[in-house]
Structure 1
Amino acid sequence: MAAPLVLTLACADRPGITARVTGFLFDRNCNILDAQQFNDRAGNGGPGAHDDRFFMRVVFDPDGSTADSLRADFAALADEYAFEWTMVAENRPRRTIIMVSKFDHCLVDLIYRWRTGELPIDPVAIVSNHPREAAIRVDIGDIPFHHIPVTPETKPQAEAAFRALATQTDAELIVLARYMQVFSDEQSVHFAGRCINIHHSFLPGFKGARPYHQAHERGVKIIGATAHFVTADLDEGPIIHQDVERITHADAPADLVRKGRDIERRVLAEAVRLFAQERVLMNGGRTVVFRG
């Protein structure tokens, strides 16, 4: 039996979209397993967004039809409504490159969740700006490791080498798992919509070094983490997932760091899951995230 397919689409809102899409699937004897939609009537997507935008995610049983044939048939309807759309197998693992510097807690968590079948990804490479012995303390098995050093003088060449690697491995997703190098504008544009970063949620406050120590000095009561798409605006890309944890006066800076790392790994893993399951749609400067 063929695996279920996932259809996602975005377009200008107008009457009849849901009926036409579900009717298309009904006419081909496809059984809808899950369906979610969102009408952004207020145009709240921020810069680049449009009023009255429609978003939809449908999981369905193709009943013997191939994804290629359904995509070919759906193209006419997509053209009529000017859909931005994808139709892929639900169980298709995303070819993923994970980038890391010297803190590997997020990398360790992603590898664990992948190995246990929780994350539908296919790690095709791990990349670090540090040698393997300095960057990773976990067994990465057969996942290829690439050391691409970065200095201010060699950054253009290093970024070019990484783009070549991404092309060579046919990577669909880039995960910055505490990769502590800032992408250039060119690199950010090249990987737009398929590169996810994680950082603490103190920004724009407590910038720079030792942010948890700065937060402790201010006596903050909540710490958190944010996973977002990488854009040319540093740490300001469309947000995919966030979480927080309360702390008390008894928490020392080391406690904030420990709890912060725990939140970072959870938030990044959830963002990767949402992306890999086709649950994240772009809406200008924001995202539409279909939970499940």
Structure 2
Amino acid sequence: MPHHQFVLTLSCPDLPGIVSAVSTFLFDNGQNILDAQQFDDTETGQFFMRVVFNAAQTRVTLPVLRELFIPVAERFMMRWQMRDRGNRRRVLLLVSKSDHCLVDLLYRWRTGELEMTPTAVISNHPRDTYEGLDFGEVPFHYLPVSKETRRQQETAISGVIAHTKTDLVVLARYMQVLSDEMSGRLAGRCINIHHSFLPGFKGAKPYHQAHERGVKLIGATAHYVTGTLDEGPIIDQDVERISHRDRPEDLVRKGRDIERRVLARAIRYHLEDRVILNGKKTVVFVD
């Protein structure tokens, strides 16, 4: 299967011979390297690598390759995964009233830009909130939440995640704070999007607050969710200039555009195994 591709990602202490060991292993097992990227973090002494490969001569199944790679991984104390790129990750979308990111992600999925399988859409607002939005065959779950029912609602969300065998959860402008317990269960597999301002504006109508302070740049940040609100490892960011002529509604409109493209990029990077956690940061091997 010369066209069938696999991807190996790894991180480990930086030691001599890692690249040689990986490339030799793939060669010895009949694999051909199609793309390889690496990064040596001199501050932490950690090494990161992403390799895309396929079968050159011999046909070795992925489970066998994984088993054979274990001695190499143990020698260099690697945290690693080896995955078939043909297996699409299963993605669950959480959304609140604002649906611009949800609409955009469903469009990018339908056009093939995001190679994923949506498992469900969960909202704390009823389905008629999204009148005119075609969910197709993607299941929709209305799970309202209040301060008193948060634990029960998160239990229901966890049930949907388990039942659908979801790999990645996306907070597509989901305006509820996940509990520390929920954030911990989803560590490294839950992506959030939020506005980015300097100074930071929290609470209601952040774009209106930014307008009142005369900000010159607005932006958005996509990051992995952690127990600390909006402080998880950053995957992608973008900004746009604002002038004194822009009204609050202009900031909202431009902000929606930035949020859409930043979230889509972050999800694509994750789906393509381009993101490797590096403590509180990430290494992102862009194409």
TM-score over 0.5 (shorter chain) = yes
State whether residues 35 and 58 of structure 1, in contact with CA within 8 Å, keep that contact through their aligned partners in structure 2. yes
What's the secondary structure of 1:287's corresponding residue? strand
Pick the aligned partner of 1:62 from 55, 60, 66.
55
Q: 1:150 aligned to 2:145?
A: yes
State whether residues 198 and 215 of structure 2, in contact with CA within 8 Å, keep that contact through their aligned partners in structure 1. no
Pick the aligned partner of 1:140 from 104, 127, 135.
135
Q: 1:18 aligned to 2:19?
A: yes
Residues 18-53 of structure 1, C-alpha deviation per residue, up to 9 Å, x if partnerless?
00000001111211000000001112xxxxxxxx10
Pick the aligned partner of 1:178 from 149, 165, 173.
173
Runs of 4 or more, structure 1, over 3 Å off, are none
Partner in structure 1 of residue 244 of structure 2: 249
Q: 1:87 aligned to 2:82?
A: yes
1:82-231 pair list within 5 angstroms: 82-135=77-130, 137-202=132-197, 205-231=200-226
State whether residues 36 and 290 of structure 1, in contact with CA within 8 Å, keep that contact through their aligned partners in structure 2. yes
Q: CA RMSD in A?
A: 1.1
Partner in structure 1 of residue 254 of structure 2: 259
Residue type of the alignment partner of 1:5? F
State whether residues 106 and 177 of structure 1, in contact with CA within 8 Å, keep that contact through their aligned partners in structure 2. yes
State the distance in 1 between where 2:243 and 2:86 align.
Answer: 42
The percent identity for this pair of structures is 60
Q: For residues 259 and 221 of structure 1, do their structure 2 counterparts lie closer, same or farther at Cα, with a shift above 3 Å needed?
A: same
Q: Which has the higher contact order (CA 8 A, sep 6+)?
A: 1
Pick the aligned partner of 2:269 from 274, 280, 286.
274
State whether residues 104 and 137 of structure 1, in contact with CA within 8 Å, keep that contact through their aligned partners in structure 2. no
Residue type of the alignment partner of 2:54? D
Partner in structure 2 of residue 3 of structure 1: 4
Residues 94-128 of structure 1, C-alpha deviation per residue, up to 9 Å, x if partnerless?
10000000011001110111111111110010000
State whether residues 99 and 130 of structure 2, in contact with CA within 8 Å, keep that contact through their aligned partners in structure 1. yes
Residues 207-261 of structure 1, C-alpha deviation per residue, up to 9 Å, x if partnerless?
1111111111111111100000000000010000000111211111000000000
Relative to the length of structure 2, the TM-score reads: 0.97
Q: Structure 2 regions of 5+ residues with no counterpart? A: none
Residue type of the alignment partner of 1:119? L
Partner in structure 2 of residue 72 of structure 1: 67
Q: For residues 121 and 136 of structure 1, do their structure 2 counterparts lie closer, same or farther at Cα, with a shift above 3 Å needed?
A: farther
Residue type of the alignment partner of 1:238? P
Provide the aligned length of Structure 1 versus Structure 2: 284
**Residue 135 of structure 1: CA displacement?**
4.2
